[in-house]
């Protein structure tokens, strides 16, 4: 410890504030909009995206861009996936896919409704047994917690005991929540909403809040618990991009817990979304191929005519056609190939850093 003259201290603080001013948020009317707000109260898709390679979360600030997200493991040199993703574009792409999936839901037929009602009856019949099991588990955890507390009160100390207490308290909290849910009276004449009612409910809830708001972030996480992203690359070269995979659980919108359980699996969809805008040769490839192979015409369109119809240059149509020929020769339908290991060439070079140690989490690849 050392005494610092107040004037000198104020001068140093003023110099630091001046030097660091460029890193501060612009705010609104001179006020920091994130003041006194928890860092976890972030906008969508923050805190929801995980790396499909190492399993760690994607965080804002990827490569110095405040709206981009990148793998926290790559920043710590424990993951080679250094590809970042545009946050606003990701939100736009995912929401477009969600709305499309909701609109494409098929109607419930009589057979499906009969199976759902039978599942509801099975769930209701299991509630008493689950309530007893949950109560027994709570009593068991309470005894274990009392024994550990008494062990510490007697003057004993153990790192294992210190670790066990938070785990038991967390499990006890979950079991009490479960018991509280099971003790709720079962609804009388539980009705299953029609597919149109479910579509209206989903679209109405999602459009009720602004996509940047915390309320929207809370709602969307009920429907999409986790978004895993995986690096890909066009097989003929180019930059590294990310594709998202997630489960859309529309059944969680229902108020009744029993209805949620009965419809959770039937209404769950696994979606894959490109979190990028493809280059021109891929964006127009299918349209160009369709125009070149269009049947029923007296003559085939020339490349110049195709380019004119699509507003492209002749060179752009030629590159798209060349990409399709290469795909046909290799025998693939998707031009984007997944990366399962660090690439030999390109901008992903985290694995070449002296501090790099690949340490994936046990949940890596799950979504």
Q: Please state the domain extents for the chain.
A: 40-104+196-277+337-367, 110-182, 281-334
Please say whether the beta carbons of 131 and 182 come within 8 A: yes
Q: Coil, strand or helix: which one is 346? A: coil
Structure tokens at 302: 């020339």
Range 186-210 average pLDDT = 77
Structure tokens at 257: 């817990």
Give the integer Cα–Cα distance in Å for 206 and 187. Answer: 26
Flag whether pLDDT at 74 surpasses 70: yes
What pLDDT, on the 0 to 100 scale, is given for residue 34? 66
Which tens digits make up the pLDDT trace of 322-358? Answer: 999 999 998 999 999 999 898 888 888 888 999 999 9
Class level of CATH domain 281-334: mainly alpha
What pLDDT, on the 0 to 100 scale, is given for residue 119? 67
Range 74-84 average pLDDT = 93
| Cross-strand partners of 270 | 247
Which tens digits make up the pLDDT trace of 266-295? Answer: 778 899 999 999 999 999 999 988 888 775
- Region of poorest pLDDT, from 2-16, 51-65, 148-162: 148-162
Structure tokens at 255: 């108020």
CA 73 to chain centre: 16
Please say whether the beta carbons of 54 and 73 come within 8 A: yes
What pLDDT, on the 0 to 100 scale, is given for residue 207? 86
User: Which among 122, 159, 120 is positioned nearest to 254, based on CA atoms?
Assistant: 120
Peptide bond into 45 cis (omega under 30): yes
Which tens digits make up the pLDDT trace of 164-185? Answer: 888 888 889 888 888 887 777 6
Pairing relation of β-strands 227-234 and 49-51?
parallel
Which tens digits make up the pLDDT trace of 150-164? Answer: 888 877 777 777 788
Eight-state DSSP code of residue 50: E
């Amino acid at each position: 410890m050392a005494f610092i003259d107040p004037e000198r201290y104020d001068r140093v603080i003023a110099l630091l504030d001046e030097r660091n001013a460029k890193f501060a948020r612009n705010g609104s009317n001179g006020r920091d909009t994130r003041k006194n707000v928890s860092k976890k109260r972030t906008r969508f898709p923050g805190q929801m995206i995980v790396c499909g390679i190492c399993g760690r979360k994607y965080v804002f600030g990827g490569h110095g861009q405040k709206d981009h997200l990148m793998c926290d493991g790559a920043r710590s040199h424990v993951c080679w996936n250094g590809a970042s993703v545009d946050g606003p574009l990701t939100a736009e792409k995912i929401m477009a896919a969600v709305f499309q999936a909701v609109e494409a839901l098929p109607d419930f037929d009589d057979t499906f409704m009969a199976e759902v009602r039978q599942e509801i009856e099975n769930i209701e019949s299991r509630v008493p047994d689950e309530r007893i099991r949950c109560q027994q588990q709570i009593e068991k955890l309470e005894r274990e917690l009392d024994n550990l507390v008494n062990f510490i009160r007697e003057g004993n100390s153990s790192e294992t005991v210190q670790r066990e207490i938070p785990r038991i308290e967390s499990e006890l909290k979950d079991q009490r929540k479960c018991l509280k849910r099971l003790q709720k009276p079962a609804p009388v004449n539980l009705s299953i909403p029609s597919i149109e009612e479910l579509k209206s409910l989903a679209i109405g809830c999602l459009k009720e809040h602004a996509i940047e708001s915390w309320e929207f972030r809370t709602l969307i996480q009920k429907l999409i618990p986790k978004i895993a992203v995986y690096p890909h690359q066009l097989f003929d070269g180019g930059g590294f991009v990310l594709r998202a995979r997630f489960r859309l659980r529309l059944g969680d919108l229902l108020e009744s817990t029993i209805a949620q359980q009965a419809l959770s699996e039937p209404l769950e969809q696994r979606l894959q979304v490109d979190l990028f805008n493809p280059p021109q040769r891929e964006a127009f490839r299918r349209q160009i191929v369709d125009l070149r192979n269009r049947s029923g015409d007296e003559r085939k369109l020339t490349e110049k005519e195709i380019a004119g119809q699509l507003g492209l240059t002749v060179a752009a149509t030629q590159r798209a056609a060349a990409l399709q020929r290469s795909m046909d020769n290799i025998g693939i339908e998707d031009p984007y190939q997944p990366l399962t290991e660090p690439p030999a060439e390109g901008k992903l070079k985290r694995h070449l850093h002296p501090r790099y140690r690949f340490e994936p989490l046990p949940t890596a690849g799950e979504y």
